[in-house]
């Protein structure tokens, strides 16, 4: 835990060319010299970290004394910060060119050093956890370890679920086996699975990759959507039984591990890892279930707008707005920058200043290029500015992706400016609040400036689908997870037939009477790799509700106190548990109120869309 995990993914910048055109383009490319100005600087940090590693062992067996622990933590931090920068540079360099052999060699070199570091620091937490509760309490209260009070608080909580040294060693040896179900699933669902091909309406034959399948479900030709859906899901039959077996094995492993660590259930173990009370999870399920009529109304609205007898799975993604509007809604990156600066103004002048810096100081690598990593993300190190990778295409989704990733970036900026290194990370539970808050603000800004009913309809459709996908769908997934974990914990098994039946029941329950649950849709559970990371997906829903509530408060508060609390939340990092951090910001996720407010907003959007469609005589 004191070892900050080296999650660093990411990128490097290309050499400046003399041409004016290329120089203009370079404005939207990273400058990796911001991490290391030269190879010599990289090598200097690498050697310093490598030379310091043996010193860590000097403290083994001495951690009952506060002075020794403080010295160890200080040394550990110096090494970890260098490793973080080294890893960041190598990953970023490779993500700019996935075929860069020099980058691959650097990455391998750093990973080897990181593995040695992990081995050298492996004694720290086990040794601390082996100390008596009295000694741990004394360390927590000691003057040299005052900056680590919350760390020791968490450690003492963890001690309740720590086993004897021999048992811990056994669990450690078994841990690779525990991850085998996911590995087998990934081989079956990704490596061995061949997506089927389909003929598009314009006569091309394309493989039904994730990207092509998404395009097919948004296509106005219903017969094509249906064909794509049936072709895709029928192709899953070859991996259905294997996927059921691997999921069953994974859930058994989760429940066994939880029981071994003295938790009542896999759910309790997963929530404990984030210091989240069970009430947060149960509130989420029950509150969303109480508001299912709003989703049913939306599905009924889709049925009427599309002019179909029942809405099938392949009807849930096609836009209800005019296709031409999407083509007009284009945002060159300069326009996106202007809109972001305007749309994010409720976050205050200091926040906007940092958004401008992101564009001016080349935090963004914006455009797709051959061999560049696809997708989008934000990363960085404690001692660098954030780095945002994009593959910007000028669409609304692309602009919202910038807003989302800048939210993550600003979370790091404010945290790193305020917190010591050991509290500089964020839990997923809070990190997604910072990113989705920006999306709420941008969508609010865009909807207010919509010039036509068609533009407004397009944006309403976007907002409704965001809430449906992030709240209703993720809660349905969470309910599915809870059901299969409960069944296995009570001695039951999981077969493909049982999983299919449960999935279909949930689809019908969530989508209501206007929805037709196609038999092929029953195997939808096997498309969700997150089920191998127990009780993860609920965090997307809670984060969305928390960010909605925070943004609502900021927009309504003329005193700017809500904005001040929000910036303090961004600055808090991992200095406290996520629920308390959110409570200090003004949102209590143990209460159903934030969820109630977001679900009421969803219902109001459905009604607004209904009125617009009636006005346009589409209903």
The sign of the dihedral angle between the CA atoms of 440, 443, 449, 453 is negative
Contact 1, 127 (CB under 8 A): no
Do 7 and 426 meet the contact criterion of CB atoms below 8 Å apart?
A: no
Any idea what DSSP says for residue 421? G
From residue 199, how far is each of 195, 196, 215, 584 by CA, in Å? Answer: 13, 10, 13, 54
**CA–CA dist 613, 619 (Å, integer):** 6
Q: Are 17 and 352 in contact (CB under 8 A)?
A: no
**Which tokens is 615 given?**
């006005």
The four Cα atoms 299, 304, 307, 312 give a dihedral, to 10 degrees, of 10
Q: Residue 264: which H helix or E strand, with range?
A: none
CA distances from 86 to 55, 103, 113, 362, 380 (A): 20, 11, 10, 19, 11
Q: What tokens does 470 get?
A: 């992030």
Determine phi and psi for 377, rounding to 5 degrees: -165, 170
The rounded distance, in Å, linking the Cα atoms of 216 and 132 is: 60
Task: Let me know if 611 is exposed, middle or buried by CB neighbors in 10 A (0-12, 13-18, 19+).
Answer: exposed
Mapped onto helix, strand or coil, the DSSP state of residue 492 is coil
Neighbours of 35 (CB within 10 A): 25
Which helix (H) or strand (E) element contains residue 474?
Answer: helix 473-489
| Active site positions, annotated | 405
Which backbone phi and psi does 15 adopt, to 5 degrees?
-65, 140
Instruction: Determine whether 226 is exposed, middle or buried from the number of CB atoms within 10 Å of its CB (0-12, 13-18, 19+).
Output: middle
The residues, any chain, with a CB within 8 Å of residue 482's CB and separated by 6 or more, are 267, 285
Q: Collapsing DSSP states into helix, strand and coil, what is residue 464?
A: helix
Residue 93 and residue 108 in contact, taking contact as beta carbons nearer than 8 Å: no
CA–CA distance, 202 with 199 (Å, rounded to integer): 8
């Amino acid at each position: 835990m004191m070892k900050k995990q080296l999650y660093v993914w990411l990128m490097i910048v290309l050499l400046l060319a003399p041409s004016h055109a290329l120089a203009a383009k370079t404005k939207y490319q990273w400058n990796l010299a911001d991490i290391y100005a030269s190879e010599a600087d990289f090598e200097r940090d690498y050697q310093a970290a490598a030379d310091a590693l043996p010193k860590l062992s000097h403290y083994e067996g001495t951690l009952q004394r506060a002075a020794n622990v403080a010295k160890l933590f200080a040394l550990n931090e110096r090494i970890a910060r260098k490793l973080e920068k080294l890893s960041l540079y190598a990953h970023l360099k490779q993500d700019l060119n996935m075929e860069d052999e020099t980058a691959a060699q650097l990455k391998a070199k750093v990973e080897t050093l990181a593995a040695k570091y992990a081995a050298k620091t492996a004694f720290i937490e086990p040794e601390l956890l082996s100390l008596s509760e009295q000694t741990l309490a004394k360390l927590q209260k000691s003057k040299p370890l005052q900056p680590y009070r919350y760390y020791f608080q968490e450690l003492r909580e963890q001690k309740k679920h720590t086993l004897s040294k021999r048992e811990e060693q056994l669990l450690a040896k078994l841990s690779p086996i525990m991850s085998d179900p996911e590995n087998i699933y990934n081989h079956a669902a990704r490596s061995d699975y061949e997506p089927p091909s389909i003929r598009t309406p314009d006569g091309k034959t394309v493989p039904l990759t994730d990207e092509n399948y998404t395009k097919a479900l948004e296509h106005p030709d219903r017969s094509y959507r249906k064909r794509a859906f049936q072709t895709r899901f029928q192709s899953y039959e070859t991996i259905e039984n294997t996927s059921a077996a691997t999921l069953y094995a994974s859930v058994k492993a989760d429940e066994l591990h939880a029981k071994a660590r003295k938790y009542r259930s896999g759910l309790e173990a997963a929530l404990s890892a984030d210091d989240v009370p069970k009430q947060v999870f149960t509130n989420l399920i029950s509150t969303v279930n109480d508001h299912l009529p709003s989703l049913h109304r939306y599905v009924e609205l889709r049925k009427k707008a599309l002019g179909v007898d029942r809405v099938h799975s392949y009807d849930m993604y096609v836009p209800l707005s005019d296709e031409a509007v999407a083509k007009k809604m284009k945002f060159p990156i300069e326009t996106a920058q202007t809109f972001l600066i305007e749309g994010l103004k409720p976050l205050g002048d200091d926040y906007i200043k940092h958004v401008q810096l992101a564009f001016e100081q080349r935090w963004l690598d914006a455009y797709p290029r051959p061999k560049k990593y696809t997708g989008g993300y934000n990363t960085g190190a404690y001692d660098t500015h954030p780095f945002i990778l994009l593959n910007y295409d000028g669409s609304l989704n692309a602009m919202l992706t910038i807003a989302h990733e800048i939210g993550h970036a600003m979370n790091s900026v404010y945290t790193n400016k305020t917190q010591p290194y050991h509290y500089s990370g964020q839990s997923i539970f809070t990190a997604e609040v910072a990113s989705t808050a920006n999306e709420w603000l941008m969508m609010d800004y865009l909807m207010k400036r919509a010039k036509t009913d068609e533009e407004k309809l397009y944006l309403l459709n976007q907002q409704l689908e965001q809430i449906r996908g992030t709240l209703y769908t993720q809660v349905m997934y969470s309910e599915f997870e809870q059901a299969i974990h409960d069944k296995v914990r009570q001695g039951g098994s999981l077969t493909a037939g049982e999983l299919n039946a449960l999935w279909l029941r949930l689809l019908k329950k969530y989508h209501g009477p206007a929805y037709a649950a196609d038999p092929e849709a029953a195997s939808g559970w096997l498309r969700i790799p997150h089920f191998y990371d127990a009780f993860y997906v609920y965090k997307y829903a809670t984060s969305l509700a928390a960010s909605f509530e925070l943004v609502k408060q900021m927009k309504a508060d003329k005193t700017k106190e809500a904005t001040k609390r929000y910036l303090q939340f961004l600055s808090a990092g991992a200095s406290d548990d996520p629920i308390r951090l959110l409570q200090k910001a003004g949102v209590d996720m143990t209460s159903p109120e934030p969820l109630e407010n977001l679900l009421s907003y969803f219902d109001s959007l459905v009604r607004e869309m209904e009125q617009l469609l009636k006005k346009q005589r589409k209903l």
